[in-house]
Amino acid sequence: MSPYQEEWLFSPDTGERRRRTDAVPATSQLIDEATVRGIADESWFALIGEDEHLVPVPEPLPAEVVSSWVRVSGPWNGTVVLTVGRGTATELTRALLKQHAPEVLEPEDVEDALGELANVVGGNVKGVLPAPSLLGLPQVGEAPRPADPADVVRLEVLWRGQPLAISVQGATRALVH
């Protein structure tokens, strides 16, 4: 770790912005899988229910997936991405809406639910990253590719026996919301 990165990680926030020439810290220097797991567990407890658990067993995602994500901009720039199978997305929507879930879910219901999950997880990730940072609006669709595949912290879990992935992926430049 360079002296700048060490100072940046452990000094109080003065409100100064990082210069373009300053080294951008790697995602894994700022957050680890255990922290992402804790954030995911807390988010599930708050939104889905206290009886709903994420099991740390990595399984491959199905062929047809949907992702939701939010961008984080500040001293660290990147994206927090939640990816699930389409059937799991529907189950998550029903679990999130609980008794208010309509009999037939519209695509917008699923998008809103996935966006809300990404927003909550992303907001909590933002909270452990260097300040000041901004959180973008949630988006749903095909997940954005990481700028550098090596600059990703990925959590793979099972929810109700279905695979789910949460990725915190760095970007090489500032992101626009």
Whole-model pTM: value is: 0.83
Q: Which residue has the higher pLDDT, 145 or 12?
A: 145
Over residues 12-41, the pLDDT tens digits come to 444 445 555 567 788 999 999 999 999 999
pLDDT reported for residue 14: 44
| 70 strand-pairing partners | 80
Q: Which sequence spans correspond to the domains of the chain?
A: 24-170
Cβ-proximal residues to 8 (8 Å cutoff; 6+ apart), any chain = 18, 22, 25, 75, 130
**Six-digit token pair at 137?**
């609006």
Q: What are the start-end ranges of the H helices in the chain?
A: 3-10, 27-30, 33-47, 86-97, 107-128
What average pLDDT is seen over the chain? 86
Residue 5 predicted with pLDDT over 60:
no
Long-range contacts from 86-95, C-beta under 8 angstroms, 24+ separation:
86/62, 87/62, 87/162, 88/159, 88/160, 88/162, 88/163, 88/164, 89/113, 89/114, 91/160, 91/162, 92/48, 92/117, 92/159, 95/48, 95/49, 95/52
For the 24-170 domain, the top CATH level (class) is alpha beta
pLDDT reported for residue 153: 96
Rounded Cα distance between 36 and 95, Å, is 21
Over residues 84-133, the pLDDT tens digits come to 999 999 999 999 998 888 888 999 999 999 999 999 999 999 999 988 99
- Whose CA is closest to 4, among 171, 21, 126, 15? 21
